[in-house]
Structure 1
Amino acid sequence: MAFDGVTVSAIVSELKKNLTGGRIYKIYQPEVDELCLVVKNRTEQGNTTSRLVISADASLPLIYLTGQTKENPTTAPNFCMLLRKHIGNARILSVTQPNFERIVEMQLEHLDEMGDLCQKKLIVEIMGKHSNIIFTDADGTIIDSIKHISHQVSSVREVLPGRTYVYPPAQEKENPLDIDINYFMNHVLRKPVSVTKAIYTSLTGLSPVIANEICYRAGVDGGMSTAGLSMQEQEDLYAAFDAMRTSIKEEQFAPCIAYQGYAPKEFAACTLTMYGEEADNLPKKDVDGLKVFPSMSPVIEEYYQAKSVVTRIRQRSTDLRKIVNNAIERTAKKYDLQRSQLKDTEKRDKYKVYGELLTAYGYSCKPGDKEITCENYYDGSMLTIPLDPEQSAMENAKRYFNKYNKLKRTYEALMELTVESKEELDYLLSVQNSLEIAKTENDLQEIKQELVESGYVRGRFDRNKQKKQVKAKPLHYISSDGYHMYVGKNNFQNEELTFKFAEGNDLWFHAKQMPGSHVIVKTNGETEIPDRTYEEAARLAAYYSTGKEAPKVEIDYTTKKNLKKPPKAKPGFVIYHTNYSMSIEPDIHGIAEA
């Protein structure tokens, strides 16, 4: 879902109600492209404290109010220090959205160093990879920005200190709040494209989702060409558009998220009737519908929170992913080649039989014979053996014995090498799975240290130092029956959970023959555990494995006392011979986090 002009309009409406008249109490910059403002205000409800998050991240630009407190870095970046100098304790005069663009302008009033009252502007541009946070003085001169855009980066508009701020160039679109029925009929619906595309390419701030919603409310197929519209359909489209525009002008928003089962499909500042009706207690399995919110900020926070974490962690794990993927590709090629060579050694026993039969029946060969047919005394069949006519029967027998011995040595070496390659490949796939479920910087640091220890990343590894510095914890859930369940997020945690944290009768779960997390259920010495706890632990093991997308995953489970780690094995590797299995759906919704 695009962060479109309608969403920005709803956010601006919310910010006006909560921030106008308030004073900026605290400014900090938790990420290189993210800013947080704490604003204290007096409202009809009394004294309030609001936390505004502004992100100019190229992949996930956002602006919303949150109740959560983000970590304040020890050292503030330069942009943050500049804002603290100028607008610390500034009063927010207004929050506006110019020209229905994806821009939020905050007019600020503060005292300068001489004690004189002056004004500044904080401008937030929510425009994908072009997103920015720009700080200007009253006349529009840029003081600084969170991203500097030079002429080499953009020939259209520079964003540098000292330059005059100008709005992003228009895209030949009209403000939907200003047009009339004639423009809508004679310009928007005259474009030789589909109805949906005609709407969102002609009017500022309308995304394809909003355009589709307008078509749905009008009872018109958004995919049909504008040339095929009847007059009645055109009038219905304008009526639906005008009704939505009126609600925007009157700030009558209906923020919602459209769910398809557990997955959020879209969000918007207006009711997305095309996705169904409002449903209670969403998300639910196999239930589609709308979850309605009182304001826009909780919609954005719920929809993007998980996505934001995943996006940032994926960006920061790019180098590790590249190292692991290259190692997987290299090891897989080596493993395939070894298996192919191993298959070639299957004919070694044939050469041994050739040599033995030639030793027994070679007396019947004549000089120059190219083959000999004799009885195979192993199975009673007749066997034709190719001969080198320039060699005697005994020399041919010796040649076959030499081939047999060579292939036998190759087979014995390859048997050992293929086992090593398979173990290495399984290990690398487990690291790849750990990167997929990593959620924090500490998780990535542990994985990097694991790769250093294993020799895939250059660097020094100090296990004792690592224990002090990295404090990543395994995932912790509580079953419906009250049992504590722990999930390792990487091989270090898997090994720690299984061999140091778990006790003899604690239960251990793992996806069968595939990389995945170790899941430990603390039984507290009890021998009778409810079936529901078994199932929930198995669902965790399935979800945190490479079989996450499969409809069913087979899970092995046993007690901790049945597990062993072979000498010199990779971290997290275990063997077991006594276990049970079950097939389970990889679905963890409904399992409570501790």
Structure 2
Amino acid sequence: MHFDALTLAAVAAELNTTIRGGRVQQILRPDAHSLGMEIYAEHQRHYLLLSAHPQASRVHLSEQKLRRGMEKDTPLLLLLKKYVRGAILDAIELPVAYERLLALRFEHPEHGSTTLLAEPMGRLSNLILLDAGGRILDVLKRIPPGENAQRVLLPKWVYSYPPAQDKVPPLDDGQPDYYTRLAGVLGAGGRLWRALADGVEGISPTLAREIAWRVTGEADGEANGDAQPGQLLALAAAVQELWQLPQTAGWTPGLALDEEEGVNGFAPYELHFVDDFLPVEGISAAIARFYGEAERDAAGSTDAYAGMRNGVATLIRQAEERVRRQLAALTADEPETGDPAHLRRQAEWLLALNSQVQKGQRELVVPLGDEKLVIRLSADETPVQQAERMFDRAAKLERAAVIIPERRARLETDLLYLDQLQSDLALAQNQPEIASVREALREAGYLRQRPGRQLKIAPDRSQPLRYLSAEGFAIVVGRNARQNEIVTFDEAGLDDLWLHVRDAPGSHVVIRSGGQPVREETMRAAAQLAAYYSRLRGERGVAVAMTRRRFVSRAPGGRPGLVHLRNEETLLVEGVLPGLAEG
């Protein structure tokens, strides 16, 4: 995925709303290609990463505190500590239209103005510190004069912008031949996305494929050299719609998902040509999560499905964050405690006796036989207005008493289900089983349903594991939510023994005893299977609940594999495989 000029524009817009005006508190080198800054702005610390890595150049806010990865201080770092640490980040600008060039201007109380330029341009990436006059103080990658040097980047030299590209601008520049030049981009034929990337400024292959999809319905659509005026206008509209995002601020950042590779990209606009697009809260979050994925290089991983597994893990974490935000919002919406019947009674009496209330009166006392009803009066409202407000609050309390507990219970059930899906993902042994976890997220409403979408990977048709105890009882083990449904509600008899680890997601295990006596060694073996095929694998002293299947029922909420149980007993076992034969 490409960190292109439009992505940089989205990052600049985000930085302007989060860290502009902040004070630089620390500067460090996370690695040989990068600089990190801690900036205090809006009463909180922010961590800015600027990377000139040839394969991963980028600029974004980091979700985690940046750590020093290089012991030696370079001349550039020493100058930054002198001129930038303690300075105010005064301006964040994109000095050249459609170019990957970001300027951060700092004002230091002692040393005055300096500018740090980030050029996240792949193998040509660089970080450059300028003085107030535009002269280079130092640069991360020094470029001396030579036959292959497009620019000289050395201390004491005057900085010059990257060479201009002989391409058509993405937005109409007002020239009378603009559309003629745009039509000329298509003249060579071939893939439309390639023609756009080669012929239009600020268009990366990712952006070009998205434009091609919006124009032709497919990312690999053909460029038509004989395009009719209507087709040319459709192309211009698609290009300009995306490149007007810096003006409209209509950013929709997110992660690109592939069914086989998992998370495989990011963009500040919705991508339609990918398998799935997962919106996130900001472009920095999208970039950070893409580059923060563990074991992105599957060739160096012991897990053959690392990329795909990590992608689905990201989806589950995103869903969990969404549910937790909803729970927090529910708590914020919860009204203050109070007795709605008492409030309603006060409102009724206040309304009935409002003509007796004198100006400036602080309370109304209503004698009710052996007791008195005291109503504190508002100085800012008439008695009628106060009574209406009290009626409204009583109604809100009554509704909240019913709706909020139900909604909270559903959300807490969803968290349990997502926890189960995390366990299912960890236990998945092949692509179909990993894909089934993603599809479970989709069925639960955490991923979009795309019309006409076809799976690249065959559906998961795996069956529960089966073992045979020493006394001849079959033991059936579900390894994910779908299989747990089969084990508990399709295969198990009401008098069979049912087992599951306590307080953790994991497998449903059933001893097909049919109510017959079961030896302790068989119970313990089944409990070990329940512990092994759970998040507590390898742990000692794992608590496993055991009861008859008749005492197990589906939990409210309809999520697969979630149950309630009663009349259970507890076994303590080690989370290792017992010595049982499969069969």
TM-score by length of 1: 0.50
Structure 2 matches for 1:193-212, cutoff 5 A? 193-194=189-190, 195-212=192-209
The 1-side partners of 2:91 and 2:582 are apart by 63
Is the Cα–Cα contact under 8 Å of residues 264 and 290 in structure 2 kept in the other structure? no
Q: Secondary structure at the match of 1:301?
A: helix
What one-letter code is carried by the residue in structure 2 that aligns with 1:142?
A: I
Matches within 5 A, 1:339-354: none
2:7–2:267 Cα contact (<8 Å) kept: yes
**Equivalent in 53, 58, 63 of residue 54 of structure 2:** 58
Partner of 1:216: 213
In the alignment, the residues of structure 2 paired with residue 69 and residue 17 of structure 1 have an alpha-carbon distance, to the nearest angstrom, of 20
Structure 2 counterparts to residues 288-299 of structure 1, below 5 A = 288-299=275-286
CA distance in 2 between partners of 1:273 and 1:562 (Å): 45
Q: Does 1:84 align with 2:86?
A: no
| Aligned residue identity for 1:267 | F
Map of 1:269-288 to 2, 5 A cutoff? 269-275=268-274, 288=275
2:33 corresponds in structure 1 to 33
Cα deviation, residue 220, structure 1 = 5.7
Residue 65 of structure 2: aligned partner: 69
| 2-structure distance, mates of 1:562, 1:254 | 47
State the one-letter code of the partner of 1:300. Answer: I
Q: 1:181 to 1:580 in 2, by over 3 A?
A: farther
Q: Any conservation in 2 of the 1:5–1:204 contact (CA below 8 Å)?
A: no
Question: What residue in structure 1 maps to residue 342 of structure 2?
Answer: none
Aligned-residue offset at 1:17: 0.9
- The Cα of 1:532 is off from its aligned counterpart by 5.5
Cα contact 1:255–1:299 (8 A) shared by 2 = yes
Paired AA for residue 41 in structure 1: A
Change (3 A) 1:81 1:535: same
Alignment of structure 1 residues 428-439 onto 2, 5 Å: none
Displacement after TM superposition at 1:28 (Å): 1.1
Residue 189 of structure 1 contacts residue 198 of structure 1 at CA under 8 Å; is this kept in 2?
A: no
Deviation at 1:173, TM superposition (A): 2.2
Pairing of 1:58-207 with structure 2 (within 5 A): 58-73=54-69, 75-78=71-74, 79-97=76-94, 98-112=96-110, 118-152=112-146, 154-177=148-171, 179-180=173-174, 183-191=177-185, 192-194=188-190, 195-207=192-204
Which residue of 2 is the match for residue 267 of structure 1? Answer: 266
Alpha-carbon distance in structure 2 between the residues aligned to 1:257 and 1:224: 26
Alpha-carbon spacing, 1:526–1:183, altered in 2? closer, same or farther (3 Å):
farther
Offset of residue 209 of structure 1: 2.0
Q: Which moved more, 1:214-223 or 1:80-89?
A: 214-223
Contact 1:30 1:70 in 2 (8 A): yes
* Separation in structure 2 between the aligned mates of residue 536 and residue 180 of structure 1, nearest angstrom: 64
Equivalent position of 2:391 in the other structure: none
The one-character-per-residue Cα deviations of 1:270-301 (angstroms, maximum 9, x if unpaired) are 111333xxxxxxxxxxxx42211221001101
Change (3 A) 1:230 1:193: same
Instruction: Please identify which structure carries the higher helix content.
Output: 1
Question: Equivalent residues in 2 for 1:447-526 (5 A)?
Answer: none
Q: Is the 8 A contact 1:39 1:50 kept in 2?
A: yes
Q: CA offsets, 1:73-111, max 9 Å, x none?
A: 584522322211111111111111122211111011113
Shift of 1:16: 0.9
Deviation at 1:8, TM superposition (A): 0.5
5+ residue gaps, structure 1: 276-287, 315-320, 322-431, 438-478, 488-520, 541-558, 564-577, 583-594
Counterpart contact for 2:23–2:87, Cα < 8 Å: yes
2: CA distance, partners of 1:203 / 1:534 = 56
RMSD across aligned positions (CA): 4.3
| Aligned residue pair count | 341
Q: Is the 2:24–2:85 Cα contact (8 Å) retained in structure 1?
A: yes
1:350-383: CA deviations, max 9, x gaps? xxxxxxxxxxxxxxxxxxxxxxxxxxxxxxxxxx
State the alpha-carbon separation in 1 of the partners of residues 47 and 93 from structure 2: 18
Alpha-carbon spacing, 1:265–1:119, altered in 2? closer, same or farther (3 Å): same
What CA distance in whole angstroms lies between the structure 2 residues aligned with 1:271 and 1:92? 31
Q: How far apart are the structure 1 equivalents of 2:102 and 2:144?
A: 22
Q: Which residue of 2 aligns with 1:354?
A: none
Q: Write the letter of the residue equivalent to 1:141.
A: R
C-alpha contact 2:531 2:576 (8 A) present in aligned 1: no
* TM-score scaled by length of structure 2: 0.51
Bigger CA radius of gyration? 1
- Separation in 1, partners of 2:203, 2:137: 31
In 2, Cα distance between equivalents of 1:120 and 1:301 = 27
Quickly say closer, same or farther: Cα 1:561–1:190, change in 2 above 3 A: closer
SS across alignment from 1:169? coil
Identity of aligned residues (%): 23
State the one-letter code of the partner of 1:130: L
Report the secondary structure of 1:99's partner residue: coil
Deviation at 1:125, TM superposition (A): 0.6
Distance 1:77 1:538 in 2: 44
Structure 1 distance, partners of 2:143, 2:234, is: 44
Q: Which amino acid aligns with 2:87?
A: A
1:229 paired residue number: 227
Task: Give per-residue Cα distances to partners, 1:236-275, cap 9 Å, x unaligned.
Answer: 1122222222223222211122212361233211111333
Matches within 5 A, 1:357-376: none
- 1:119 partner amino acid: S
Cα 1:247–1:230, aligned 2, differ >3 Å: closer, same or farther?
same
